[in-house]
A and B are shown apart, each in its own frame.
Chain A
């Protein structure tokens, strides 16, 4: 019965992009970054507790350690991506003015991309020079 009432064309079903024409990419990316962030956040909290009141030399040595540098870069990518996807939903839900909405969406994506690059660059610079 349900199949008889389905008005979607075979092409629409095959493409699987739905009404938003973007498919489940946003939803999936948000969940996958969330999964990655569960262990990363545990590691981050452990590291912050470990680094509480750390001197400059201690902080540099910590960042220069390959495991810390790699996990921190992973955290930056996963958390910024997850944050941008989350902020996008909040902006889409609460900002009515279409022009302001687009401006905010583009602005926060550019801002967080730039900040993520700056952070990763900083971590790599410390890792390659302070080690």
Chain B
């Protein structure tokens, strides 16, 4: 009797794997995912200062890595996570005081948060890429000057 009831295939209620998440839910889980990514980013920021204290060779190693394509990709991912978490976090704070805490407000918020994230990320990378050749050139000149001075001494 019990075996028979166990074999009956009962319909399952929609769960995460078969249910297409609405945008609000996708953005909600993205807030957590971006938060975890930012924790990893914070570890990197710590490593930066610890490396600087450990010595110039460690700092240079880290700076070279950050300017390689893997490092740039990581920083890009970090910047997306940061801006998204910042924008969505502000939305969460507004929700906490009761602003926009309804279906219409949430949908409007979705658009604002996504647009703000894209604009901030694109803006900051556009800004830095414009300045990049300038900054890198200045540093390259300074490093070579230091090396020359050291060589002369």
CB-based contact B96/A80 at 8 Å: no
CB-based contact A53/B53 at 8 Å: no
Q: For this complex, into which size category does the number of interface residues on chain B fall?
A: 35 or more
How many inter-chain contacts with C-beta < 8 Å in the A-B complex? 88
- The B-contacting residues of A in range 74-97, CB under 8 angstroms, are 76, 79-80, 83, 86-87, 90
- The A-contacting residues of B in range 16-55, CB under 8 angstroms, are 32, 35-36, 38-39, 42-43, 45-46, 49-50, 52-53
Answer whether residue A110 sits at the interface, using C-beta atoms and an 8 A cutoff: no
Q: For this complex, into which size category does the number of interface residues on chain A fall?
A: 20 to 34
| Binary CB contact string for chain B from 131 to 153 against chain A (1 if under 8 A, 0 otherwise) | 11001100100110010000000
Answer whether residue A118 sits at the interface, using C-beta atoms and an 8 A cutoff: yes
CB-based contact A63/B42 at 8 Å: no
Interface segment, B2-10, B85-93, B99-107, B111-119?
A: B85-93
CB-based contact B128/A56 at 8 Å: no
The interface residues of chain A lying within 8 Å CB-to-CB of B90 are 38
Q: Tell me what chain B mostly uses at the interface: helix, strand, loop, or mixed.
A: helix
Answer whether residue B122 sits at the interface, using C-beta atoms and an 8 A cutoff: no
Answer whether residue B127 sits at the interface, using C-beta atoms and an 8 A cutoff: yes
Q: Which residues of A contact B (CB under 8 A)?
A: 31, 34-35, 37-38, 41, 45, 49, 52-60, 63, 72, 76, 79-80, 83, 86-87, 90, 115-116, 118-119, 122-123, 125-126
Beyond A55-B139, A58-B142, 4 extra complex contacts between A and B, CB < 8 Å = A38-B89, A54-B139, A58-B139, A122-B46
